[in-house]
Amino acid sequence: MVTDGGQDFGIDAIAFSAGAPRIWLIQTKWSDRAAANFGELDVIAMADGLRMIDRREFGRFNSKVQPLANQIKTIVDDVQARIVLTIGLMRQAPLHSNVLLRLTQLRDEFNAHGQYLDFEVLYVNDIWDIVRRTAQPEPIKLSFEMDRWLELSTPMRAANGVTTAATVASWYEANGDQLFRKNIRESLGVTQVNADIARSLTEEPYEFWYRNNGVTILCDSLELTPKSRSSPYGTAKIEATNVSIVNGAQTVAAIAAAVQDGADAVRDALVGVRIIASTDEATSSQITKATNTQNHIERRDFVALDEMQLAIREEFSLTLGLTYTVRRSEFEPSPESGCTVREAAIALSCAHADPRLIQRVRNNEDLLWEEGSQGAYARIFGERPPAIQIWRSVQLLRRVRDSLHAMQSELDGRAAAVAEQGSLIVAHIVFQEIGRDGVDDPDFGWEAVLDRIPDLVGKSVRWLVTQIDNQFGQSSFIGPTLASADRIRPLVRAVLSGLESGASVPDLRPDYLPVPRQRATRRRNSVHVLVDAGRIKEGSRLTFRAASEPERQALAKWLAEDGRRGAATWVNSRSRPLVWAADGKRYTPSGLVMRMYALAEWTGAPVAVQGPRRWLLGKEGSLVSLARTVLREMEDDEEGVE
């Protein structure tokens, strides 16, 4: 989307990835002489735009950016989000070192506690290469060795076997995401799935083939040549043209990352490869779709095998009369009738004393189900919590979220961004302030605790915003700050100390509060204005006039069939002032136009219409123009009164 113009804050265009939470903020500079200038002030402008996106201050951007606000927020709020500042320059000479230093400092500041931001500078030759490759990408050819292979010739030529991780990595190194051009999605960058694949390959390379589904490749032509006639299924040379990996993009990207720094055992690990030759586009599309629509298994799914979760579900039913669902395939219970294991796990993470646990979960919810002594699952479910404690924790988390939602209209800028992005951090603070007293006691009055939540949430947000500014500065990035384990601990400690001290809750800066907006004056109804002023004489004849060319073409023949269809008589009534000549019934101006659309059987008619624009009083104009004249005369009279 091109966003160039006033108030673009250095962002001339914005691009989104179709298959991953990636966003490119683009600034371009043109020069007929290939000497476009890009200086430190341009970097500062982009930094301002980036900070406003981080603070969700979209109202300051121009009208081209504002419609994209929800899409930008959705991507940036994703824990796997990646932002790239792209500078496209019509120049050949490299940027000055001071400008590159500014860009590097901005990237490092934003990435102080995680890899979220990067930048790229594209010079004229780079831009030309992109245009050329996009216009006519070169077909990819692969030549590699496959072991333990099986060959099929009907209905399509295909081969199935194994190759080494080093071989697969070389494909990605040479071709990048072009390998996946026929895939439903490209590699998604750094994701938990990729991290798990890479870890499996690095830690247990000899078992990788058993734990990974491998790679499926489509190609135009396939040649398989055994290296030994005496051992036909040992090793074969594969040569394929116009190759595209249609399933296994994450596997290939993860293998490439692991092999880069891996030992020989990693490079020699076996990877399953299936390669199919097909020049029929329909068949290729069916194969691509089929290989990408198998049921996805998440870490949470393995929780359904844990006997402890089944015991919790039984206790929920027997002691509380509530539903506790464990499997993703089960219907989620309504809020008053129970909860899911996911909601329970998040609530218990918020209740845990260590804020780094909820910080990890905030960054990647899949870590809720990580096992091992330091895994989140063991820390929150290790000693099975009673059902009543789980349920009350869920209730408290829900009340916190409701309170945050209710106060959104009271916040703006950085404060609104903290409340929106830091909901789980705020919940953790509230859990710690409430304490554990009575959470597992059936006789304890838990409703009284829940009634305290809205006030406590408001205080926690104000303390949290203030402490972020005090500890890390008012220009610090909200997202990376709340994603940092190093920053969360001192922030939470400071907020809890402030709450426990009994000191006055700090006031938020004026620019963190919404500016009171003057309520827009509601446009007066044209019919009401005309009737109240007695502007049109009772019985006056009105005629219909189409307001657009499509409307005129749709109604012209139908109106010509009966002259009465385009005529009406005025009645001084605020409710239904038009008597239609065609049937003698009374209508509102808009209601009559919609009735005419229906009788004329106009299939392209709009669902709403401004009828007073279409009914004219002779040469005096439409009902809308007459009403405006009346209002102007009334304003002139008021200004003349002394």
Tokens of 428: 């953790």
Amino acid 18: pLDDT: 61
Amino acid 416: pLDDT: 87
- Between these two residues, 207 and 518, which has the higher pLDDT value? 207
Amino acid 294: pLDDT: 52
- Between these two residues, 419 and 302, which has the higher pLDDT value? 419
Amino acid 367: pLDDT: 80
pTM above 0.75, yes or no: no
Give me the chain's average pLDDT, please. Answer: 85
pLDDT, tens digit, 9 for 90 and up, residues 390-435: 999 999 999 999 999 888 888 888 888 888 888 999 999 999 999 8
The greatest distance separating any two alpha carbons of the chain, rounded to the nearest whole angstrom, comes to 113
Residue 87, judged by CB atoms within 10 A of its CB (0-12, 13-18, 19+), counts as buried
Q: Is the pLDDT of residue 135 over 70?
A: no
d(CA 430, CA 40): 43
The pLDDT-based confidence of 523 (bands split at 50, 70, 90) is: low
Q: Which residues pair with 120 in a beta bridge?
A: 86
pLDDT, tens digit, 9 for 90 and up, residues 462-518: 999 999 999 988 878 888 888 887 888 899 999 999 999 888 999 988 888 887 655
Taking the CA atoms of 39, 43, 46 and 52 in sequence, report the sign of the dihedral they define. Answer: negative
The pLDDT-based confidence of 569 (bands split at 50, 70, 90) is: very high
Please report how the helices 423-434 and 485-501 are oriented relative to each other, as an axis angle in degrees rounded to 10: 40
Residue 281, judged by CB atoms within 10 A of its CB (0-12, 13-18, 19+), counts as exposed
Amino acid 497: pLDDT: 92
Which region holds residue 204: left if phi is over 0, alpha if psi is between -120 and 50, else beta?
A: beta
Q: Is the pLDDT of residue 19 over 80?
A: no
The pLDDT-based confidence of 177 (bands split at 50, 70, 90) is: confident
Amino acid 273: pLDDT: 95
Percent of the chain with pLDDT over 90: 39
Measured distance between the N- and C-terminal CA atoms of the chain, rounded to whole angstroms? 54
Amino acid 198: pLDDT: 78
d(CA 70, CA 9): 18
594-612 burial by CB neighbour count: b if 16+ within 10 A, else e? bbbbeebebeebeeebebb
Q: Is the pLDDT of residue 641 over 50?
A: no
The pLDDT-based confidence of 608 (bands split at 50, 70, 90) is: confident
Cα 408 versus chain centre, distance: 19
Strands 142-152 and 235-241: antiparallel
Please report how the helices 341-351 and 423-434 are oriented relative to each other, as an axis angle in degrees rounded to 10: 60
Please report how the helices 40-54 and 97-110 are oriented relative to each other, as an axis angle in degrees rounded to 10: 10
Amino acid 183: pLDDT: 64
Tokens of 590: 């808009």
d(CA 399, CA 389): 15
- From the list 182, 162, 180, 204, the residue with the least C-alpha distance to 253 is 180
Q: What DSSP string runs through 340-378?
A: EHHHHHHHHHHHSS-HHHHHHHHH-GGGGG--STTSHHH
Do 88 and 120 form a contact (C-beta atoms < 8 A)? no
Amino acid 316: pLDDT: 93
The pLDDT-based confidence of 55 (bands split at 50, 70, 90) is: confident
Q: Is the pLDDT of residue 638 over 60?
A: no
Q: Where are the chain's structural domains?
A: 13-135, 142-291, 300-512, 526-639
Amino acid 359: pLDDT: 83
Q: Is the pLDDT of residue 182 over 80?
A: no
pLDDT, tens digit, 9 for 90 and up, residues 63-122: 889 888 888 887 887 767 889 999 999 999 999 999 999 999 999 888 876 678 899 999
Mean pLDDT check: name the lowest of 8-12, 350-354, 516-520.
516-520
Tokens of 429: 């603070």
